[in-house]
Amino acid sequence: MKQTIRFKLNGDPIQIEVEPHLTLLEVLRNELELTGTKEGCGMGECGACTVLINGRAVNSCLFPIMETDGKNVITIEGLADVDGNLHPIQRSFIENGAVQCGFCTSGMILSAKALLDENPKPTEEEIRTAISGNLCRCTGYLQIIEAIKEVNKNS
């Protein structure tokens, strides 16, 4: 039986009716049509489905939708501002050639955001740890690390 849940999605409060057995990823992609969040392994190992819940990076493929009630969820669609200007992390990924096929990019950027919000000038080791749960099938890790390093370089 469908149940009603309320949460904040990319800044906006929403209320939806959901089947309780679904994951946050399934609801984001199939019901809310936010397909920027990707499904890779479906087992919490690849990080393609990473979103932020209350500011923390989480695998949405393992997150029961019912646990989203009352939470603050940020997906890749919530990063650009209302005028469509890209987030500094998104710009840095483009400028540093950190996007190849793009499948890992949403998750990588959200893992980077969780890190930088907590620690604006991380060491390379801290960056590597923060994205260790995000696999890039094109293996473009060096550019990704470089892009994350560059975000707050001049601030």
Partner 1 sequence: MKKFDYLKPNTLEEALSLLNQYGDRAKMIAGGTDAIVMNRQKKISPDVFISLRGIPGLDQIEFNGIFKIGALVTHRTIEQSELIRKRFPILAGASSVLGSVQVRNVATIGGNLCTASPSAETSPSLLVYEAEAHLVSQNGERRLSLESFFVGPGENALDKKEILKGILLPSPPPNSVGAYLKLGRRKSVDLSVVNVAVLLTLDPKTGICERARIALGAVAPTPLRAKETEKILEGNLLDDGIIRKAGDCAKQECSPITDIRGSAEYRREMAGVLVEKGIRQSLVNHSRIV
The residues binding partner 1 (CB under 8 A) are 1, 3, 19-21, 23, 42-45, 47, 50, 53, 56-59, 61-64, 66-67, 111, 114, 129-130, 132-134
Half-sphere exposure (Cβ direction) of 17: Cα atoms closer than 13 Å: 2
Nearer CB in complex with partner 1: 85/129: 129
CB of 46 to partner 1, least distance (A): 9
How are the residues of the chain apportioned to helix, strand and coil, as percentages rounded to the nearest 5? 35, 15, 45
CB of 36 to partner 1, least distance (A): 17
CB of 45 to partner 1, least distance (A): 6
CB of 48 to partner 1, least distance (A): 11
End-to-end CA distance of the chain: 50
Nearer CB in complex with partner 1: 43/82: 43
Contact of 48 with 110, CB cutoff 8 Å: no
Nearer CB in complex with partner 1: 91/126: 126
Contact of 73 with 20, CB cutoff 8 Å: no
CB of 86 to partner 1, least distance (A): 23
DSSP secondary-structure letter at 147?
A: H
Q: Encoding tokens for residue 33?
A: 């049509």
Nearer CB in complex with partner 1: 20/97: 20
Q: What is the dihedral of CA 119, 124, 128, 134, to 10 degrees?
A: 70
Nearer CB in complex with partner 1: 62/91: 62
DSSP-based three-state secondary structure for 99 = coil
